Amino acid sequence: MQTAFITGASSGIGRATAVALSKAGFQLVVTGRRRERLEELAQELAPVPVHILTFDVRDKAAVEAAVAGLPAEFAEVDVLVNNAGNAHGLAPIQDGDPTDWDAMLDGNVKGLLYVSRALLPTMTRRKKGHIINIGSIAGHETYANGNVYCASKAAVAALSKGMRLDLLPHHIRVAEVNPGAVETEFSQVRFKGDTDRAAGVYKGFEPLRAEDIADIIQFMVTRPAHVNIAEVLILPAAQAAATVIRKD
Separation of alpha carbons 151 and 109, rounded Å? 10
The partner residues of 54 in beta bridges, in order of sequence, read 32
Task: Detail the DSSP E strand segments found in the chain.
Answer: 3-6, 27-32, 50-54, 79-82, 129-134, 172-179, 231-234, 239-241, 244-245
Separation of alpha carbons 223 and 227, rounded Å? 6
Q: Which one of the listed residues 114, 143, 149, 202 is annotated catalytic? A: 149
CB 106 within 8 A of CB 58: yes
Nearest to 214 by CA among 67, 4, 1: 4
Q: Does residue 202 have an active-site annotation?
A: no
Separation of alpha carbons 187 and 73, rounded Å? 37
Please list the active-site residues.
Answer: 149
